Structure 1
Amino acid sequence: MQIDTAIIGAGAAGMMCAAHAKGRILLVDHARSPGEKIRISGGGRCNFTNLHTDAGAFLSGNPHFAKSALARYTQWDFIDLVDRHGVAWHEKTLGQLFCDTSAKEIIAMLRGLMQQNGVDLRLQTTAQGFAKSPDGFTFSLETDGTTTPVTAKNLVVCTGGKSIPKMGATGLAYDLAAQFGLPVTETRPALVPFTFAKERFANLAGVSAKARVTAGHQSFDEALLFTHRGLSGPAILQASSYWREGEEVSVNLLPDVDLMDRLRRQRKQSGRRNLTTELAAHLPARLVEHLAREIDLTGNLADQSDQHLGSICNNLSDWRLKPTGTEGYRTAEVTLGGIDTDALSAQTMEVKSVSGLYFIGEAVDVTGWLGGYNFQWAWSSAMAAAGALNA
């Protein structure tokens, strides 16, 4: 088989690139269906982009690398694409856009575009034995015991990271990077729940509260969720990308409330009210009960000095917690780190030292915040590569 471009990985980035690249395009994946992470994302409705997308919402060894691709194919471009294909959507919160009905609409849109583009999609197929050749790249396809040798002028690698292995994640992109002499930055689970020893929050499992969670000097104001294993929820997932083992995270349980002022006023107006009763007006009662084991919350409001109230407020606005770890790649939404961006062209995603070789999507050391940013990076990086392939 001789083709123009082989794309390895039929996820968001691979399908987007295949749908827009010209020539004879082969798209290969070992999964039974394309776009599996699209299908399960956003509770099955796919948080496909974010209205506030810019390079500041991404972590990378080079914070400027993503700017070029994001600027040339923006969130507005992808919104226009889904609008033209009749995919109804809504903004949920913080600029996050979701399909009204099902993530399968995004997959169907991309499959339709690929079909129009004449893409040869090979599923339940393994690509292996990659090598550089005078004509580009050679490798073989393995399908149901049948081997097919392939020669491709260009090779686009978009097999993602290590997150959610049950969905078929592998380290193929990193293996190919090593084979072609490309550096790979440290990889870690990101957008992932924290775990704590001895089921510290098991009695609070299911309780949620709005909080400001800070890790690595970065803060996020979103929901926090207590679980049997530890802490989850959007604020925690966001902070996990900035956390390192052994570090503490800071939780402000009342980021939008001047608690000291309210406690003082209530002390004057309702001094006989129990302190825990007053706090339960601002926080879940089960959480207040749990906090009472760590902070002195005994007595009525009238019994509390300004100094003691101040101490309580400080504890609630800067609750220091040290996770034992995270739930790891098993539940991580993305992989932090990846192919070192120094090895790639920011304009084309092509490897500087290997002509015709491209890396796009999650495999690259560009990791977005929770809320549609990583899908936008998939669309933007894919279009950067497709544009270069079409030049």
Structure 2
Amino acid sequence: MSKTWDAVIIGGGAAGLFCAGVAGQLGKKVLVLDHAEVLGEKIRISGGGRCNFTNLHSSPANFLSLNPHFVKSALARYSSQDFIKLVQTYRIAYHEKHQGQLFCDDSAKQIIEMLMGECTKGKVQIRYPVVINAISYEGGEWLIQTDGGVEHSRSVVMATGGLPVPAIGATAFSLDIAKQYGLRVIDPRPALVPLSFTSGEFENLNALAGLSLPVRIAAGSKGDRY
């Protein structure tokens, strides 16, 4: 008889590993599946390799949401201070850069190791690389069809992220699954993008290197302001 998991979490990034660690330590049988060769790659490259893991001034006002009460509830249940305590438990040295941004003194890999440590405490099973071919709901349980067989679960958590860095494996998998089950999907668009210049164009901007300040930008055919 095949094993039935309490939760199969699809995505081995920050959200997926954190969710798995918490659920596992609550006594749930948890399996994490990821398609990548290396877990937490987006964590590894964040913050210039030092991971800007939270912000001291994080509040509901910092988030855009159709339901602002969701953010209030989420931060009330688990705040940036709670995450800082977890970081301190693992003796990870960190510093504040500016405007409350916290970075590891050493390496973003420490955050990955911390999240993996939490999964170990929760006896979470992690499998990668795994190709997921289909997800269906039959007979009161979820069936996750993979290249290694079928996984049965009482619940599925989609934690694959969006489309920010295709070069490290980001895909539209979660969006496709959402559409499969009739959820309304707002067309995604870039929220944080680099500006690319030729070497000649960039020379005139060298004096601005290292500066960070509030700006207002107009873009697009309608002159949308941000």
Normalising by structure 1, report the TM-score. 0.52
State the Cα deviation string for residues 221-261 of structure 1 (Å, max 9, x = none): xxxxxxxxxxxxxxxxxxxxxx65232769xxxxxxxxxxx
Match of 1:100 among 105, 108, 131: 105
Deviation of residue 115 (structure 1)? 1.2
Q: Confirm or deny: 8 A CA contact 2:219 2:225 kept in the other structure.
A: no
Q: Judge conservation of contact 1:213–1:249 (CA < 8 Å) in 2.
A: no
Secondary structure in structure 2 of the residue aligned to 1:214: coil
Query: Equivalent residue for 1:187?
Result: 188
Larger-gyration structure (1/2): 1
Where does 1:107-122 land on structure 2 (aligned, <5 Å)? Answer: 107-122=112-127
Q: Distance in 2 between matches of 1:10 and 1:24?
A: 16
Q: Tell me the amino acid that sits aligned with residue 207 of structure 2.
A: V
| Residues 20-29 or 6-15, more deviating | 20-29
Rounded to whole Å, the distance in 1 between the matches of 2:194 and 2:224 is 14
Instruction: State how far apart, in whole Å, the 1-side matches of 2:21 and 2:78 are.
Output: 14
Count of residue correspondences: 218
SS across alignment from 1:68: helix
1:27, 1:120 within 8 Å by CA — same for their partners in 2? yes
8 Å CA contact retained: 1:88, 1:100: yes
Indicate the residue corresponding to 1:140 in structure 2.
145
Instruction: Compute the displacement of 1:155 (Å).
Output: 0.2
2:76 corresponds to: 71
| Residues 36 and 129 in structure 2, CA contact (< 8 A), matched pair in contact too | yes
Structure 1 residue matching 2:155: 3-state secondary structure: strand
Structure 2 counterpart of 1:202, one-letter code:
F
2:202 maps to: 202
**SS at 2:70 equivalent:** coil
1:200/1:155 CA distance change after superposition, 3 Å: same
Whole-angstrom CA distance in 2 between matches of 1:186 and 1:46: 28
Matched residue, 2:9: 7
The answer to whether the Cα contact below 8 Å between 1:45 and 1:98 also exists between their aligned partners in 2 is yes
- After TM superposition, give the deviation of residue 210 of structure 1 in Å: 4.8
> Which residue identity lines up with residue 204 of structure 2 in the other structure?
L
- Tell me the residue number matched to 1:56: 61
Q: 2-side partners of 1:131 and 1:87: how far apart? A: 41
Q: How does 1:1-391 map to 2 (within 5 A)?
A: 1-21=3-23, 22-142=27-147, 147-194=148-195, 201-208=201-208, 209-215=211-217, 244-246=219-221, 247=223
Q: What percentage of residue pairs aligned between the two structures are identical? A: 43
AA of the residue aligned to 1:78:
F
Answer yes or no: is the 8 Å Cα contact 1:135–1:151 preserved in 2: no
Contact 1:135–1:152 at 8 Å: present in 2 too?
Answer: no
| Kept in 1: contact 2:163–2:171 (CA 8 A) | yes
Letter in structure 1 aligned against 2:177: L
- Taking structure 2 as the reference length, the TM-score comes to 0.89
